Structure formats: C-alpha cells, structure tokens
Amino acid sequence: MTRKFLFKCCLLMAVPVFFTVVGVAQKQQARVSSTRNANASAHTTTPTRALQPLVDEAARVVLQKFADKKFQEQNLAITLVDLTDAAHPLQASFRGQEPIYPASVVKLFYLVAAHRQLEDNKLKDTEELRRAMRDMIVESSNDATHYVLDELTGTTSGPELPREEMMEWIMKRNAVNRYFTSLGYAKINANQKPWCEGPYGRDRIFVGAKYENRNKLTTDATARLLTEIVTKRAITNARSLQMMELLKRDFTGKSADPDDQAHGFTGIALPNGARLWSKAGWTSTTRHDAAYIELPNGARFVLVTFTTDHAKERDIIPTVARTVINGFGEDTRRANR
C-alpha cells in the first residue's frame, strides 16, 4: 500500500473519534459557567449607528478600489471600536460575525489564555515560557506558539493515538475554547497550532479530513479581546500592560520585510505622531490585522480587518485604515450616538 493510501485510511478511522469528541467538547463548552473572571467577561462595547457609516464607507472604498482584482464582500470583514471616550466605547462592523481562518491573529487568544493560567497558578511562570510568549507575539513565531499551546493544554504533537487516548487528547486541546466560551465569546475556534508545513499525525487528524476544525475567529471577537487588553480588563491591569508591551509596534522608518507587523499592515496608513499596537496574521490566502491606534488628535480606536483570497494585495488593509483615520480626523466622536 502507498503512503498516501495509508494516510487516508488513518483519517477515515479517526473520523468517528474526531466527531464524537468534538461533540462532547461542544456540549461541555455550552455548560461552562461565565461567572469566573466576571470583570473580563463584562463586554460593554455598544453597537451603534453612529460609527456604522464610517465602517460602511471603509468597506465601500476598498471594495471599489480593488474591484478589478475581484475583491468582493465575502473577502472582507471589519470591526471598529471607538475608544476615544473609553468609558463609553462604540462599535460597528462589516461582516463582523463571519468566522474566518485567522492565521497568526489567533496567537492573541493564546496570549490571553496563558496570562489567565499564570494568574490562576495553573502555569509556572518560567523564563522559557515568557520567551515563547514574546516570540509568539513580537516575531509571530509558529514554533513558539506550539510551545505555548502545549503548555496551555497539556498536549503535544506526535503520531496517531488509540481511540481513548485521542479522545482525552482532544478534550485537553479544547481548553482555550472552553475558557473563551466561559467569557461569552461565540463563533470562534482556537485549538490548532499554526503551521508553515504540516500538520501531521494527531494534529492532522484533529483538524479534520477537510480541515473543518481549523481555527476560526470573527473580527468582532478579535476586536473585543483587543479592546479588553487595551482597557486593562484582560485578566488584570498589570497583565494587560504586559500584553500591550508585546503588541507595541514602531511603524516609523522602513522595513525590507513586506510582512513586518509594524510596516506591512495598518502601520502603512498611520500619520506621524500616531501610536500603534497590533497583531497581524498572513498566509498564502489570508491577510489580517488587529490594531489599536492612537492618533495625534486624541482619537483612539481598535480596528480589526480580515481579508481572504487576496493575500498579495498588501494595500487592502491600509486602505481600510486610511478611510477610518480620515473619518476620525473629521470628527473624533461620532454624532448621534
């Protein structure tokens, strides 16, 4: 038998295990209490008609600009949170509830989950863990992310497992999902390692024969998480500040790397004097950025932009950002809240 045939057989044998355990995990997540960490789960950002015209205009502009590239609505999602008055944040979105493969943006969720476990003394605060957390966010290292997710879930990659062991492994690997479900996050899946090549073995089986169990995030969920970090409600004030330090980007100057997180995404659109904190993600088919921006005129906002099937079009995300920045330049607080 060929290696390809053997692999297909392994996948077919794993299907009952995969769907049985995923079903159990989903039921468990639905039962999780949302009382733990009530401060972080209190999501008070208000959807508003005031911001919606600006988000709609950003979508219109970018869709029109890249229409000749066949860039369409289904290739775009945007969420904007106005934090100029942090006590009364405003939110609007374009396809903000659409689950999309997040690439490395999911590392933001692993970072917060790691700080939660550190705060609860479920993870040991070691120099190696801190190094991995830094490299996961600052360098967007996949290898570092593998280490962090292994620590978070008590799982490791490796060859296929017998049915019962695989069921236990999958239950453990869903720990991050259970945590965010307990905080009221919906339509997300954060249980896979990011790969440049692979996955193989138990990770390949877990992602599903047709990759149906890939990581998924919405721009709304991502914007909520980044907002909670920015407003120091993610875990604790001190831990939020530690996360912000890893997300800080210097977009001034130039970079030879078109995928540099500071220079290749939202940072392209920022004026002199602005400040940027962000986590980008990109693959051959996706290009995303989750950014918190402070403008010289006092405007402050979270802007999350996901794009699909046009990863080579590096000006899509800056075009969205420019439109939003122009809107805040005209009026730092939206009228008719």
Helices (H) and strands (E) in the chain, counts: 12, 7
Q: Are 172 and 151 in contact (CB under 8 A)?
A: no
What is the model's pLDDT at position 38? 41
C-alpha separations of 219 from 28, 94, 182, 203 in Å: 25, 9, 19, 25
What is the model's pLDDT at position 13? 46
- Please give the mean pLDDT across all residues of the chain: 89
What is the model's pLDDT at position 329? 85
Residue type at 335 in one-letter notation: A
Low-confidence ranges of the chain (pLDDT < 70): 1-49, 330-337
DSSP SS3 for 47: strand
* H or E segment to which residue 230 belongs: helix 219-230
What is the model's pLDDT at position 145? 98
What is the model's pLDDT at position 179? 98
pTM for the model: 0.88
What is the model's pLDDT at position 330? 63
